[in-house]
Amino acid sequence: MPVYSVQDVERVLHLSRSTIRGLVQGGFVKPERGPRRELRFSFQDLIVLRTARALIEARIPRKRIRRSLEDLRRHLPEALPLSGLSICAVGDRVVVRDGKTRWQADNGQYLLGLDVVLENGVLHVVEAPEPTRPADANAVVSKTAEQWFTEALALENADAGAARGAYERAIGVDPRHVASWINWGRLLHEQGATGEADRIYRRAIDECGPDPLLMFNRGVLLEDLGNPDAALEAYQAALEEDPDLADCHYNLARLYESLGKPQHAIRHLGQYRRLLGGAGN
């Protein structure tokens, strides 16, 4: 089953990190935690997150949103059906169509339209578009960096090599597409190509500067390379760019504890718990 990171959710759903954090803290989704306490979202989480955001913007009462989303989650498949899904909000309810199957009655005031489709192996969760004229069959289609990124994301579980190639193509189109650099480096790291992953991260820093997620991922890599001092610098650089990066505080707390610096560890663990709304480990 595909698993999505916070940065994947940001890119696929176009939601800000603060919005994602608020929806998680509000209990709309309950993502799992990875080995480094990072949030890991399922396919169902993505659909629920996007639907929750749209219903909130439509000013539906939160109790009704929660009830609708609970029903939505119960009916969502484990993976995206080939027929795709169409989700809309009518009144205070969520209506889902899966091919010819429809859940709940389709009447009342129309508030939201989402298309959830699988096209050429790529997951799309988008606002339902207005009808448009068919494209010229002879037109040459050039993919954007974002399209290459989305394709790479969908390929990761099936063909990591093809995913790396798609991330590289995204960067070829836009050398400052930081999410592609981040995921390219992460894939290499996961596959044990740590030296190459570090080269990718250093190239990314040259092109994009000290992006917080980039520096965080490089810190994780440097820890695994047995370089805790460099990892500390990377984590601290990440927090300079985003002081609310909770997972970075957690990793710093753990790293400081291993280095025999308990006061530093306690401070970052406190920040981590504060950012998660007082939740424990």
For CA atoms 200, 204, 205, 211, the dihedral sign is negative
Domain boundaries, the chain: 6-127, 145-275
Which pTM was predicted?
0.55
Alpha helices (H) along 128-159:
145-155
Q: For domain 145-275, give the fold.
A: 1.25.40
Please give the pLDDT value at position 17: 75
| Structural tokens at position 224 | 């695994």
Task: Output the tens digit of pLDDT for each of the chain's 281 residues.
Answer: 567 788 888 877 777 777 787 778 777 778 888 887 788 888 778 777 777 776 666 666 666 666 667 666 666 655 555 445 555 554 445 555 555 444 443 333 333 444 454 444 444 454 444 434 444 444 335 788 888 988 888 787 778 889 899 999 999 999 999 889 998 999 899 889 999 999 999 999 999 998 988 999 999 999 999 999 999 999 999 999 889 888 899 999 999 999 899 999 999 999 888 887 644 44
Round to whole Å and give the CA distance between 35 and 247.
11
245 SS3 class? coil
Please tell me the distance from the alpha carbon of residue 270 to that of residue 249, in angstroms, as a whole number.
Answer: 9
CATH dotted code for 6-127 = 1.10.1660
Give me the pLDDT at residue 96, please. Answer: 56
Contacts of 22 (CB under 8 A, 6+ apart): none
SS3 category, 97: strand
Number of Cβ within a 10 Å radius of residue 139: 7
